[in-house]
Amino acid sequence: MAQSVLLTGAAGRVGEAILGGLADDYEWRLLDRDPPTEDYPGEFVVADITEDETIREAMEGIDVVLHLAGDPRKTAPWDSVLTNNIDGTQTVFEAAVDAGVEKVAFASSNHAVGHYETDERTPEMYRADDDYLLDGTEQPRPGNLYGVSKVAGEALGRYYHDEYGISVVNVRIGNLTENHPPIDYERGQAMWLSYRDCAHLFDRCIQADYDYEIVYGISDNDRKYYSIERAKEVLGYEPQDNSAAHNDD
């Protein structure tokens, strides 16, 4: 029988990419505080992730959670990331553990390490001949309060894994765009994640066996300063796209 997957933030862009690739592959329970505007597979729960009781109900019978819901703005103010990204993520982990969920994949962000991009290194680090790489073992260095909230989400995952044994993978997503990488934006090209690689990566987060992991969620771009080796090794991630292939478009 197909695994039951709860997708929070299902009405957003990352949710769209995941469902675009995997709609028929799992028993989906979708959750968002915004109702859906398009057709969707499975059941749709309209709820806020800070609503403890509703989130507990939404976890019933779930094998894997893909937790995307949150404020994705790099300029998001503290009160919003505190509520949506930190408090909401704690509510999701607590309910997941109590419901016996096996795995949680958490949508972290490149902004968890944004302050590695110091003035001295940019823009060379966005270019293919610079071998500078972050691989997920480095200390977090958030570049804004949104990034701080993602580091907090990763720490919540660490705690719930160590305390209760739930499997957790944090995907530090780069720059997701549909069809084409960002144009005239080297940083965005270096951390581009295509829709199909996004769907495949989260598919691997559902399927693979892991304990606690931090991986980077980008395509196999020529220009990259995030390593995808850990995602390949632990998750079996095999990206098909490369922003450099679009240079002449």
Residue of 23, 25, 41, 48 interacting with ligand NAD (CB under 6 A): 48
Q: Is 240 in contact with 195 (CB distance < 8 Å)?
A: no
In the numeric block, the tokens 């549909």 are attached to 178
Q: How far apart are CA 92 and CA 74, in angstroms?
A: 22
146 included as an active-site residue:
yes
Stretch binding ligand NAD (CB under 6 A), from 42-50, 112-120, 135-143, 201-209: 42-50
Q: How far apart are CA 61 and CA 249, in angstroms?
A: 46
Residue of 4, 90, 167, 175 interacting with ligand NAD (CB under 6 A): 175
Nearer to ligand NAD, 70 or 157 (CB): 70
- Identify the three-state secondary structure at position 88: helix
Nearer to ligand NAD, 1 or 35 (CB): 35
84 has binding-site annotation: yes
Q: Is 107 in the site for ligand NAD (CB under 6 A)?
A: yes
Nearer to ligand NAD, 76 or 101 (CB): 76
Q: Letter for the amino acid at 50?
A: T
In the numeric block, the tokens 């969920």 are attached to 101
Least distance between ligand NAD and beta carbon 37 (Å): 10
Q: Could you say which of 26, 126, 146, 226 is catalytic?
A: 146
Site string for ligand NAD, 53-92 (x = CB under 6 A): ---------------xxxxx-----------x---x----
Stretch binding ligand NAD (CB under 6 A), from 114-122, 168-176, 205-213, 226-234: 168-176
Which residue has the CB atom at the shortest distance from ligand NAD? 12
**Quick count: other Cβ atoms within 10 Å of Cβ 160?**
22
Q: How far apart are CA 10 and CA 178, in angstroms?
A: 16
Q: How far apart are CA 134 and CA 231, in angstroms?
A: 13
Please choose, from the candidates 198, 189, 171, 184, the residue with its C-alpha nearest in 3D space to the C-alpha of residue 110: 171
Active site amino acids:
146
